[in-house]
Chain A
């Protein structure tokens, strides 16, 4: 397969188009502007629609509308913009609307900084809006992974009738890397996917059609609302088999790094560098950060593991809390952190590993 050299944001947009996404609405914010920019150029070529909304709130609600009609739809933003979209995401989750969105996250809180960060972990995995809904959340560590995840995300969204989140960061979004793009869905396939949603979507029915579509982000009767939540909870419970994780050289590891996304990618190269020096390091990288691969931490050899090192671009650390649920106090957990737009360096991770070794004796 031919590889092309693409920027992460553009590759995500192209993957979405190839998956059959035919509606995108967004609002500019760094470092994800290349996603709407790419869609603006590309959508007209495939008969799709691109809208730059007047705000984040408007654009996410446009996606709510388009997806309600059975069209594969997407929005994207970066951290503070995602916060603004959270109301619409919650509405989509409540109304059981399939949609895909990407957070190319940056430093925070507040306006924060425009450089890459991983400070939206809790927001992405625990509460992306009010009401306690859940989503599949994928964390790419390469541009290729971002492409593959985005492509697949639309299938998951349709299957579950639920939003799916691609949790990337400013490095993945702005870096360029060779990628192999998936096959584009044909016009017929795109039409068929929309047709398949006829049972629930507002695809346009004849007046005497008995089963008219009704999209609601809430219910007046508490019993109806509870039933809707129970149905959604059953879908969330079915995700046990969707957990994805990469384990790298953990069998004999004396120190296991736990990291996701860009931090995991940088950590992986550190594992190889340190192993050349004879230091036995391994890596656990959750690929889905929700549901979280807690059980993978049972595979650590706690007889020889001195510590788990949490590496993430967030101060205070967030991801570490899920790591600690997995580790279950079977060994100490140390952290190596950066924040506010500073990209974690290999040097810092190496230093943190060596510090653990010194503290506990090699």
Chain B
């Protein structure tokens, strides 16, 4: 069993961090093989950024597959670029705050979450990625939510002030993910 996930968005949306949290949590809590592979241009902000996470019981050959089981898109250009890579019956997680396009494909599951708006409601636009991670974990249960939260907690260890905000964001996401099952 191998799960290929692509997370794509603008640079600065925390796309890499989302993927890294998920992959680290998998390494910490399971015996599975897992890879995280980032792909971006020379810019630090703006431009497109995307990463690939592969979780597998077997040896992982390609850290970036040709066909995705799951796709998380945080902005419009990413949807146009990566929708074709999503397999039939795959899961599309979409930031419905800024991706309003109608999805022509009818052979996939679509999970919508207005994560930009929700992050602003929580008081910090930066936590949109943690909300989306919650949505993904809540929906797929690829790794247990407790383990993922444990990883986030340890990665944010140096900034304990940020923990309550991130906890709220992650739980909001979980709730949305679970409700769309």
Q: Tell me if A53 counts as interface (CB < 8 A to partner B).
A: no
Q: How many Å lie between the Cα of A270 and that of B35 in the bound state?
A: 17
Q: Tell me if B90 counts as interface (CB < 8 A to partner A).
A: no
Residues of B within 8 A of A176 (CB): 20, 23-24, 35-37
Q: How many Å lie between the Cα of A3 and that of B62 in the bound state?
A: 20
Report the minimum CB–CB distance from A8 to chain B (whole Å).
10
Residues facing B in A144-195 (CB within 8 A) are 171, 174-178
Q: Tell me if B174 counts as interface (CB < 8 A to partner A).
A: no
Residues of A within 8 A of B24 (CB): 5, 176
Interface string of B148-176 (1 = CB under 8 A from A): 00000000000000000000000000000
Q: Tell me if A346 counts as interface (CB < 8 A to partner B).
A: yes
How many interface residues does chain A have, given as a range?
Answer: 20 to 34
Q: Which of B36, B37, B58, B62 lies in contact with A345, CB distance below 8 A?
A: B62
Interface string of A245-272 (1 = CB under 8 A from B): 0000000000000000000011111101
Residues of B within 8 A of A337 (CB): none
Report the minimum CB–CB distance from A54 to chain B (whole Å).
22
**In the complex the two chains form, is B37's CB within 8 Å of A171's CB?**
yes
Residues of A within 8 A of B42 (CB): 30, 114
Using known A-B contacts A3-B27, A5-B28, A347-B66, determine if residue A177 contacts B59 with beta carbons closer than 8 Å.
no
Using known A-B contacts A175-B36, A178-B33, determine if residue A346 contacts B61 with beta carbons closer than 8 Å.
yes
Q: Tell me if A343 counts as interface (CB < 8 A to partner B).
A: yes
Q: How many Å lie between the Cα of A213 and that of B42 in the bound state?
A: 46
Report the minimum CB–CB distance from A6 to chain B (whole Å).
9
Q: Tell me if B12 counts as interface (CB < 8 A to partner A).
A: no
Q: Which of B33, B34, B37, B62 lies in contact with A346, CB distance below 8 A?
A: B62
**In the complex the two chains form, is A266's CB within 8 Å of B34's CB?**
no
Residue in A5, A269, A272, A343 with the greatest tally of chain B CB atoms within 10 Å: A5
Q: Tell me if B114 counts as interface (CB < 8 A to partner A).
A: no
**In the complex the two chains form, is B23's CB within 8 Å of A5's CB?**
yes
Residues of A within 8 A of B34 (CB): 5, 177-178
Q: Which residue of B lies closest to A350 (CB)?
A: B66
Q: How many Å lie between the Cα of A249 and that of B36 in the bound state?
A: 28
Q: Tell me if B145 counts as interface (CB < 8 A to partner A).
A: no
Q: Tell me if B11 counts as interface (CB < 8 A to partner A).
A: no
Residues facing B in A308-352 (CB within 8 A) are 343, 345-347
Residues of B within 8 A of A171 (CB): 37, 63
Q: How many Å lie between the Cα of A176 and that of B36 in the bound state?
A: 5
Residues of A within 8 A of B37 (CB): 171, 174-176
Residues of A within 8 A of B65 (CB): 346
Using known A-B contacts A174-B38, A176-B20, determine if residue A5 contacts B61 with beta carbons closer than 8 Å.
no
Q: How many Å lie between the Cα of A198 and that of B2 in the bound state?
A: 53
Interface string of B27-49 (1 = CB under 8 A from A): 11000011111110110000000
**In the complex the two chains form, is B23's CB within 8 Å of A266's CB?**
no
Residues of A within 8 A of B61 (CB): 265-270, 272, 346
Q: Which residue of A lies closest to B62 (CB)?
A: A266
Interface string of A5-47 (1 = CB under 8 A from B): 1000000000000000000000000100000000000000000
**In the complex the two chains form, is A5's CB within 8 Å of B27's CB?**
yes
Q: Tell me if B64 counts as interface (CB < 8 A to partner A).
A: yes
Report the minimum CB–CB distance from A118 to chain B (whole Å).
15
Residues of B within 8 A of A177 (CB): 33-36, 60, 63
Q: Which of B27, B38, B60, B64 lies in contact with A343, CB distance below 8 A?
A: B64
Residues of A within 8 A of B20 (CB): 176
Q: How many Å lie between the Cα of A167 and that of B33 in the bound state?
A: 24
Interface string of B111-125 (1 = CB under 8 A from A): 000000000000000
Residue in A114, A177, A270, A346 with the greatest tally of chain B CB atoms within 10 Å: A177
Residues facing B in A59-95 (CB within 8 A) are none
Q: How many Å lie between the Cα of A304 and that of B36 in the bound state?
A: 39
Q: How many Å lie between the Cα of A17 and that of B60 in the bound state?
A: 27
Q: Which residue of A lies closest to B60 (CB)?
A: A269
Q: How many Å lie between the Cα of A4 and that of B154 in the bound state?
A: 14
**In the complex the two chains form, is B59's CB within 8 Å of A269's CB?**
yes
Q: How many Å lie between the Cα of A30 and that of B41 in the bound state?
A: 10
Residues of B within 8 A of A268 (CB): 59, 61
Report the minimum CB–CB distance from B133 to chain A (whole Å).
16
Q: How many Å lie between the Cα of A347 and that of B62 in the bound state?
A: 11
Residues of A within 8 A of B35 (CB): 175-177
Across the A-B interface, give the 9 residue pairs with the lowest CB-CB distance, nearest first: A269-B61, A5-B27, A176-B36, A175-B37, A178-B27, A266-B62, A347-B66, A5-B24, A175-B63
Beyond known contacts A175-B38, A176-B35, A345-B66: 20 more, CB 8 A cutoff: A4-B27, A5-B27, A5-B34, A5-B36, A30-B42, A114-B42, A115-B39, A175-B37, A175-B63, A176-B24, A176-B36, A177-B33, A177-B63, A178-B34, A266-B61, A267-B61, A268-B61, A269-B60, A269-B61, A272-B58
